[in-house]
């Protein structure tokens, strides 16, 4: 019983590999991870569990560094971060403290305002009187991590299934953020990423005959919870329900109390007595106009420094604020016109602004492929693959003219590709053009080695015993092993260097060589032995 298994273990191993690949390719449970709200069968692309990369499915890939400068090994002289930020910001024109960041763990100070040059930053650091080792371009690890987290949130909340973001390092040590979003156009993705999405509330109030604006009475960080965008039932428009933080450290005023005081001070309670009192802000002139004979103060919803909506206040709410009781709950609605706008504001509030800009135009790359083009590429690469296999098969038949030798050779080479496809499904590695090229290269090298085995075994006369076969097979295997080792060594730089999507080519060429040497080529030897050995 055990004897045949022992004798044919190499062939059995190949069978196991092929069966395993079939399970990975077609079995349930190995498919792509379904996006939220998507069933497992919907996530599947085609009849197999294979996943397709951007080249073959359409989508956008962006690779760019974060713009900014970092001063390293800064001597803080025991100053707390806030003091350092204030001191450096004071030396930079037009830069607010938001664009500066101190990372005590890395002893670093970074500036993320793209308008600040390296020279200006150096000068500001010198003027602020903090010693530093050097200023390098790029931002700190902490900021990169935060950015990746936020982009991830943005992708998820925009419902872009299959999108991913990660950090890659180039050979020169520079860090890049790599964003891949299947099925979306280039401009849409860039808009989503570049939207720094600062949301704030200003108060516009009548100032004599003109209009004054108190900026930033509420900003992003004042919000405690952010609800989902909701359509207003009674009136037109939509809103995002939020709660404003109403607790603060000892001795400080909470955001909710500060907002409440500002509203009370601008006289909202007096202005809004009943539903007839409305906000008369004209976004084009920036002036408050008369409504029913009054010029009432208004709340302005400002996204990316642009006023997107202006609204008055419910009389009840205004009274609560004047009485100082509103801050106990801190509940508030950010009112917008269109529902889509409410959605985008909720998204921006929740995902937050990117801590630093992606420098796509300066040092980045982007590529985008439409879904139909990707589908075409999928068909074409299948045709190219099949024709290449035919070419190899044709050559092998022409050379050996003996189906006994040639047929198993082609079947073995195909089994190798099939096993690799199984690996791709199992690992969830998305197929791309580069990976397809790797498959074709594998067919090429695979058949090469089978030729070596066949020639070696059949040379020097008849194979008349197991011992003769084994000795010849071992000799052939030395060459195959050496050839495999050189291929792996030559391809490994490509695997780690991060040259575009070529790492897929390298990974699958190397994987193919390993599968070949460990599984398929020994099995071909066994098949050949069974066919050739005179018993």
Near another protein in 354-383, by CB under 8 A:
360-370, 372-373, 376-377, 380-381, 383
Q: Would you give the binding string for another protein spanning residues 486-525, x where CB under 8 A is met?
A: xxxxxxxxx--xxxx-x--xx--x----------------
Number of other residues whose CB lies within 10 A of the CB of residue 69: 22
Nearer to another protein among residue 106 and residue 363 (C-beta): 363
Question: Least CB distance from residue 497 to another protein, whole Å?
Answer: 5
Judged by CB under 8 A, the chain residues 28 through 67 that form the site for another protein are 63
Which phi and psi angles does 160 have, rounded to 5°? -90, 95
Determine the 3-state secondary structure of 397 from DSSP. Answer: helix
Shortest distance, CB of residue 374 to another protein, whole angstroms? 8
Token representation of residue 318? 């205004």
| Contact partners, residue 385, CB within 8 Å, separation at least 6 | 417, 436, 439, 440
Please say which residue, 334 or 413, places its beta carbon nearer to another protein.
413
192 burial type by CB count under 10 A (0-12 exposed, 13-18 middle, 19+ buried): buried
When asked if residue 478 is in the footprint of another protein (CB under 8 A), the reply is yes
CA distance 281 to 205: 9
Question: Min. distance of Cβ 226 from another protein in angstroms?
Answer: 31
**Interface mask (CB under 8 A) for another protein, residues 97-136, using x and -?**
----------------------------------------
Size of the site for another protein (CB under 8 A): 80
Q: Judged by CB under 8 A, does residue 270 bind another protein? A: no
Residue closer to another protein, measured from CB, 250 or 372: 372
302: tokens are 């400002």
Residue 509 belongs to what H/E stretch? helix 502-515
Relative to beta strand 164-169, strand 175-182 is antiparallel
Window 170 to 209, contacts with another protein (CB under 8 A): 170-172, 174, 186-187, 190
- Beta-sheet strands, E only, within 232-371: 238-244, 281-282, 287-288, 298-303, 306-311, 331-336, 365-369
Instruction: Return the residue of 43, 178, 291, 384 that touches another protein, per CB under 8 A.
Output: 384
Region near another protein per CB under 8 A, out of 115-123, 302-310, 455-463, 527-535: 455-463
| Binding status of residue 419 toward another protein by CB under 8 A | no
Looking at the Cβ atoms of 12 and 451, the one nearer to another protein is 451
Are 476 and 408 in contact by the 8 Å Cβ rule? The answer is: no
Rounded to whole angstroms, how far apart are CA atoms 251 and 239? 33
Place of tokens 């990117």: 354
Instruction: Find the shortest distance in angstroms from Cβ 452 to another protein.
Output: 6
């Amino acid at each position: 019983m055990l004897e045949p298994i022992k004798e044919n273990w190499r062939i059995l191993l190949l069978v196991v590999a092929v069966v395993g690949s079939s399970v990975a390719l077609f079995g349930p449970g190995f498919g792509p991870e379904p996006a939220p709200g998507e069933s497992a069968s919907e996530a599947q692309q085609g009849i197999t569990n294979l996943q397709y990369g951007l080249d073959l499915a359409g989508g956008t890939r962006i690779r760019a560094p974060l713009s900014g400068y970092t001063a390293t090994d800064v001597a803080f002289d025991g100053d707390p971060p806030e003091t350092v930020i204030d001191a450096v910001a004071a030396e930079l024109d037009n830069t607010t403290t938001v664009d500066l960041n101190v990372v005590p763990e890395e002893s670093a100070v970074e500036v993320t305002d793209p308008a600040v040059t390296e020279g200006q930053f150096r000068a500001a650091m010198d003027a602020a009187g903090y010693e530093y080792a050097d200023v390098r371009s790029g931002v700190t690890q902490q900021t990169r991590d935060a950015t990746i987290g936020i982009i991830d949130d943005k992708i998820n909340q925009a419902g872009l299934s299959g999108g991913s973001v990660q950090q890659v390092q180039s050979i020169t040590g520079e860090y890049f953020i790599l964003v891949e979003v299947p099925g979306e156009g280039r401009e849409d993705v860039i808009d989503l990423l570049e939207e720094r999405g600062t949301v704030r509330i200003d108060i516009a109030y009548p100032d004599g005959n003109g209009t004054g604006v108190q900026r930033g009475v509420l900003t992003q960080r004042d919000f405690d919870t952010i609800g989902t965008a909701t359509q207003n039932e009674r009136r037109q428009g939509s809103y995002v329900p939020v709660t404003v933080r109403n607790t603060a450290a000892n001795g400080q005023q909470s955001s909710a109390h500060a907002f409440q005081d500002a509203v009370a001070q601008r006289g909202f309670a007096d202005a809004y007595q009943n539903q007839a009192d409305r906000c008369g802000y004209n976004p084009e002139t920036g002036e408050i106009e008369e409504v029913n004979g009054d010029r009432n103060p208004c709340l302005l919803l400002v996204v990316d420094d642009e006023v997107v909506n202006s609204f008055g206040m419910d009389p009840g709410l205004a009274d609560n604020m004047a009485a100082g009781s509103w801050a106990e709950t801190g509940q508030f609605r950010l009112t917008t016109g269109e529902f889509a706008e409410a959605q985008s504001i909720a998204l921006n509030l929740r995902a937050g602004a990117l801590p630093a800009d992606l420098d796509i135009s300066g040092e980045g790359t982007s590529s985008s492929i439409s879904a139909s083009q990707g589908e075409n590429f999928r068909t074409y690469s299948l045709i190219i693959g099949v024709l290449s296999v035919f070419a190899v098969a044709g050559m092998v038949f022409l050379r050996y003219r003996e189906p006994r030798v040639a047929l198993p050779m082609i079947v073995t080479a195909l089994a190798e590709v099939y096993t690799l496809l199984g690996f791709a499904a199992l690992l969830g590695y998305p197929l791309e053009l580069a990976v397809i090229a790797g498959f074709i290269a594998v067919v090429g090298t695979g058949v090469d080695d089978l030729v070596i085995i066949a020639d070696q075994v059949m040379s020097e006369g008849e194979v008349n015993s197991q011992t003769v076969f084994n000795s010849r097979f071992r000799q052939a295997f030395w060459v195959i092993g050496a050839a495999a080792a050189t291929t792996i060594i030559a391809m490994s730089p490509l695997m780690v260097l991060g040259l575009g999507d070529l790492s897929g080519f390298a990974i699958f060429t190397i994987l193919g060589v390993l599968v070949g040497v460990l599984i398929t080529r020994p099995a071909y030897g066994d098949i050949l032995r069974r066919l050739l050995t005179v018993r």
